[in-house]
Amino acid sequence: MPWLGLALLIGVGAGILFTGLPAFLVLIAAAVAGMAVGIATDAFPTALIGALPGRLIGLFESDLLQALPLYVTMGLLLNRLPVADALYRASNAVLPRRPQAPMVSGMLLGALLGPMNGSVGASVLGLSRVVAPKLAAEGVPQARREALVAVASTLGVLVPPSLVLILLSDAMLSAHTMAVTETGRGDRVVNTGDIFHAALIPAGIFLALCLVLAWWSGRGIAGQPARTKLTRGEGVLAAVSLTALLTLLGGVAAGYFYAVEAAAMGAFALLAAGLASGRLRGKALGDLLHEAIAITGALFALLVAATTFTLVLRLLGTDRLVTDLVRGIPGGDIGATAAVLAVIALCAFVLDAFEIIFVVLPILLPPLLIKVADARWVAVLVLLTLQLSFLLPPFGYALMMVRGALKPASPFKAFVRALMPFLAAQWLLLALVLAFPRLVHVLDRAKDLSRAPAAALSNEEISKRLNDMIQLPPLDPPK
């Protein structure tokens, strides 16, 4: 019944798109339907369903999932405290007085706050509240404002330790473990730090391109921006916030902090600042915690439903079918990877990034990593494709959020024209990484060259390292 699994996957996309029901309900309904058909046709023994509780327990034993509520809380706190406004005003005060300065400040703010916001949606709301009104006051056309907010809100996807990057790293760890087990290769299973380091160079390239394009797109704006005067309190807040953000981002990127530790430090610091300033007391604090719990619950519900659904697909043999299809793709590593990326991009028309990570990647990544050994390269390409999915007209999540938050919306054609240079930069970066895999290994090579040859490891040390790297045991295929 392998083709039934693909039919269920298509049905999930259609159900999410046309019914308006929450994604986790659609996934659970599809999983139950697949189980019923599988049991009725003797496609798999009923006893195999008993693997689900153990699979869910193994899922929630992952320490990395502690970062979910922390990043959600940070995103909500950044939207309620004046941190973003102080950083934006400080950037405008430092940059030369040119019409392009507000555009560059908005892009820099997205790069700084995006990794700490927890989601693209939180970044869109924060930048729409802080940056968009100021750009309007500077005479920036509506379409350019929308394009800048949309692009800036996705910068956090690439910069560690973003929530999308953390969840993708967890999916890559599981998929690479399964691929190494299947092939018997001697690869070291990738971990979160490996994916963070691999993404740094592409993230730096894309940020540089966005800053150049933001400066270029502001050339035709008439007049000069008003001189920004910072109060002492705003200056202190901007300096402290910038130092804290750069410390957290740099510490995670360099491997000094784990993602969960960085999220905990950031959330605690923001919460303490909100309580001390009096902005988070009584009803305001209650509303923040209520919203944080609601968003976190929705993410965990999606994760549980996706895990149940992917188990059904494996019981139906869909994973083996996908493996055979990927193995048959011509063109070597680049051809197979490009084909899988195209499927992910198509899924982005009906699924958001979290749904793709939880539902689609567990099916596509293990077969691809069986054929393509470079897991870090694959991870960065998938990450770039997911980021592109947020800005993919006409249904990109960031586009829909921005046009809903900034009213009245500009004509869609004008919006797409303003967005096109940034989309071209994304496609260029994706093509560069696809054609030159070494881009994701620059930091690895520098690190390896500065390290003395490692001594032979004992069997006990090898076992210990494997236990540290492998957090989620792979599910054995049905026999």
Pinpoint the alpha helices (H) of 2-66: 2-19, 23-40, 51-60
| Percent of the chain residues past pLDDT 70, beyond the cut | 90
Separation CA 180–CA 248 (nearest Å):
33
391 has pLDDT over 50:
yes
Check residue 449 and give its pLDDT.
37
Q: Reduced to 3 states, what is the DSSP secondary structure of residue 476? A: coil
Average pLDDT over residues 386-400: 83
Reduced to 3 states, what is the DSSP secondary structure of residue 167?
A: helix
Q: Is the pLDDT of residue 113 over 50?
A: yes
Q: Please, what is the average pLDDT of the chain?
A: 81
Q: Is the pLDDT of residue 106 over 80?
A: yes
Interval 325-339: pLDDT, tens: 888 888 788 888 999
Mean pLDDT of 353-377: 87
Backbone angles phi, psi at 331, to 5 degrees: 100, 10
**CA–CA dist 248, 259 (Å, integer):** 9
Q: At what angle do helices 318-327 and 283-315 cross, to 10 degrees?
A: 80
Please report the pLDDT score of residue 420 as a whole number: 93
Band of residue 425 on the pLDDT scale cut at 50, 70, 90: very high
More confident residue, 450 or 254: 254
> In the prediction, which pLDDT does 13 show?
82
Task: Give the contacts of 306 (CB within 8 A, at least 6 positions apart).
Answer: 24, 27, 355, 358, 359, 362
